[in-house]
Amino acid sequence: MDKKDIANIRKQFKVDNDLLTIHDIFNVYIMKESSEIYHHQSMPFEFLEQEQQELFLENFKKVLSGQLDEKLFELKFQREVEQNSQLILHQGLLSNDTEEWKGQMLKLVEKMLLNKQYEMDVVITFIHGEHMKPTKRKSEESEESGRDTVYSHPFILCSMNKTQDPKKELLFDYVEREFKYNIVVDPIINLKAPMSGFLFPSITDNASDVNHVLYSAGKKNEPDYHFIEDVLNAEEIMTAAQDKLVFEEIVKNVAGDQKLNTTTLANVYEEINRVAEENEEDDRPTLDVKDVENVLSSSGIEDVNTDKVSSAFKTVVDNEKYEFKANNIVPKYNSKSIKIETKIANISISPQDLSHVRHILLNGKRFLMMEVEENTVIEGFEMIPEALFQKSPEEGE
């Protein structure tokens, strides 16, 4: 499932959209003290008032928001697991009976509560629906509209949301002309920041893929492994941040005692970006052990060979066939995504400009030097260039 597929689904979640049909909505309220179901309620989605529909639709869009491998993760189901969630979801997807569908969703809720204590009351929302994607016209001459033929995708979406205590407020009563303390005891369901969620099934090449599920984490690079492994029964994942750390460890392992300078690091990023651009038809280009070997040897790191790189893969990830996603290990190439932090100042530059930065040692002191094409202005004052080296009095005679 790529970012275009996700974006296409996300934009369907709006009121009065004829390409989206939501049959039922099922809300389950969980008490934090007991980790038990306090109440659950199901109704046709169309029975909700429009304001309520809009609140939920915005919540569902947030579940499907974020970057792949940072906040969204396409997961593959494990095999041979008792009470497999893939089977539960598939049976719920195929069911046309609301009670049967609710029963399958409650099985998932039971798995969410097993050996799990939440810090606040939680509301788990499920919807059962169908979204459609129009096909493109075969030719300009064709009279058949894209709306005449569509790809149909039945789906189940889950959103988990925390509750919060109502605000204590002072109100003014216009009628009685007096100040009143607003006493509200009902908890507020925070639909603006889902804790977690998922979309089943995944989509590959406009076809439903019941072997995968799209999982949504509450925060970037902080997936809930209990939810992934014990609730969804999915295989292990690597976040973008973890992918980058693994790559860095492999580079250090291959480089050995060699110290990288800014030029070498800039070359590494440039080589990886080139690989990504050469495979731009692939939404998520990857680098295997051979690609990493080529990148490092082309970047100026000495004594790079296949055995050394393979050994580094085995040492760091214990898998010589591991593949990195190029977008995970290179900061955004054309934006100021590299942060250089010092005690004096913090600087942000783009990977393509890293080659203009030098870290030098002069007279026993460290300096960060940047090549610039324009005059430097500080607080409105234009700075004159200073000579880095000066002649000694003897040399001047």
pLDDT in tens, 305-363: 999 999 999 999 998 899 999 888 888 888 888 888 888 888 898 888 888 888 888 88
| CB count in 10 Å sphere of residue 228 | 21
DSSP 79: S
Angle between helices 306-317 and 240-255 (to 10 degrees): 130
Q: Which residue has the tokens 């054309």?
A: 334
Residues 6+ apart with CB under 8 A from 257: none
pLDDT band at 397 (very low <50, low <70, confident <90, very high): very low
- CA Rg, the chain, in Å? 28
Contact 202, 212 (CB under 8 A): yes
Q: Is the pLDDT of residue 152 over 50?
A: yes
Reference 101, options 130, 127, 82; nearest CA is 127
Do residues 334 and 350 lie in contact, with contact meaning Cβ atoms separated by under 8 Å? yes
Q: Is the pLDDT of residue 377 over 90?
A: no
The helix-helix angle for 98-113 and 85-94 (nearest 10°) equals: 160
Q: Which of 49-63, 254-268, 305-319 has the lowest mean pLDDT?
A: 254-268
Q: Are 375 and 382 in contact (CB under 8 A)?
A: yes
The whole-number pLDDT of residue 390 equals 56
Among 11-15, 179-183, 249-253, name the one with the lowest average pLDDT: 179-183
Residue range 151-178: mean pLDDT, rounded:
87
Q: What is the pTM of this model?
A: 0.84
Q: What value, to the nearest 5°, has the Cα angle with vertex 309 and ends 308 and 311?
A: 65
Beta strands at 188-189 and 212-217: parallel, antiparallel or unpaired: unpaired
The 3-state secondary structure of 12-77 reads CCCCCCCCEEEEEEEEEEEECCCCEEEEEEEEEHHHCCHHHHHHHHHHHHHHCCCCECCCEEEEEE
**What share of the chain in percent tops pLDDT 90?**
51
210 is written with which tokens? 């019941």
**In terms of Cα–Cα distance, which of 215, 156, 160, 157 is closest to 30?**
160
Q: Determine the residue type at 59.
A: N
The region of weakest confidence among 228-232, 281-285, 372-376 is 281-285
Structure tokens at 65: 């928001």
Q: 84 vs 181, which has greater pLDDT?
A: 84
To the nearest whole number, what is the mean pLDDT of the chain? 88
Q: Across 163-172, 210-219, 256-265, which has the greatest mean pLDDT?
A: 210-219
